[in-house]
Amino acid sequence: MTKDLLWRGMLAGILAALLATLFARVYAEPLVDRAIAFEAAHESHAGMHGGHDDDGAEAPVSRAVQKSLGLATAAVLYGAALGGIFSLVFAYCYGRVGRIGPRTLALLIAALGFAIIAVVPALKYPPNPPAVGHGDTIQLRTAAYFAMIAVSIVALIVAARVRTMLVGRWGAFNALVGAVAAYILVVALAQIGLPRIDEVPNDFPASLLWDFRIVSLGMQLILWAAIGLGFGWMAERRLRRGVAPR
């Protein structure tokens, strides 16, 4: 069963990624182009990405490829990975976290995943368009961002433990509130502890930065919603079939 769910999760992730790519192509790419134009106009940050190396050096990947095949490939690989992990979380939780129907559970996990993986880490380290961020701090920024994601996941596990501990004494509702409070506490402490990163150029258009971040959030929302709905539908069909014929 786990195997079948895993493949279905990856498939749901790939389909969701194609949908998200469509969205990104229409809504995000004009913003990326504008950010790159800004970057090109400000020679100080000598670009290391394609299509806009003004030094005449041959860019390894053209803008045309970056915004079509490159974008789709990145999204599909990300979607397949996300969908795979999603299906494993589902496979473990199904029947263990209450007797919830497969489509409802999938949607719940998707909503939680969107909040835990996409939204909360971005509160501290929001997505940035090209031209924002210094090349020489990439190590620090990558480590800090991954640490924030890790903290968010750990905080979720802590919260689940807290809920289990409290549910007998406080009742289900109060225990859930307590668990959410525990999650927020852990995340808030990490947000204070982790380094502050402020690398937006002074004259970078604020509206462009806002638009980019909102569109980036929209892409994540489409990805998670499509995985939750798509996988839930596939999982229900698979579960109805019962024992695998093979």
Partner 1 sequence: MATAAPAFDDPFIPVSGAPAIPVGEFAPWAVLGLLLALILLYFVSTEQGAVALFKGTSVHEFVHDGRHLLGFPCH
Q: Using CB under 8 A, which of 18, 50, 160, 214 touches partner 1?
A: 50
* Cα distances (Å, whole numbers) of residue 74 to 17, 18, 49, 71: 9, 10, 15, 5
Q: Which stretch binds partner 1 (CB under 8 A): 121-129, 150-158, 161-169, 171-179?
A: 121-129
DSSP state of 100: -
Does residue number 18 form part of the binding site for partner 1 (CB under 8 A)?
Answer: no
Does residue number 101 form part of the binding site for partner 1 (CB under 8 A)?
Answer: yes
Q: Who's near 96: CB < 8 A, 6+ residues apart?
A: none
Q: Give the closest residue to 29 by CA, choosing from 67, 75, 62, 74.
A: 67
Q: Give the closest residue to 185 by CA, choosing from 164, 212, 166, 158.
A: 158
Q: Which residue number, 24 or 182, has a Cβ lying nearer to partner 1?
A: 24
Does residue number 6 form part of the binding site for partner 1 (CB under 8 A)?
Answer: yes
Q: Using CB under 8 A, which of 166, 187, 219, 222 touches partner 1?
A: 219
CA 14 – CA 33 distance, rounded (Å): 25
Q: Using CB under 8 A, which of 15, 84, 109, 211 touches partner 1?
A: 84
Judge contact between 10 and 84, C-beta under 8 A: yes
Report the interface residues with partner 1, using CB under 8 A. 1-3, 6, 9, 24, 28-29, 32, 48-50, 59-61, 65-67, 69-71, 73-75, 77-78, 80-82, 84-85, 87-88, 91-92, 94-96, 99-104, 118, 121-122, 125-130, 133, 135, 138-139, 141-143, 145, 215-216, 219-220, 236, 239-240, 242-243
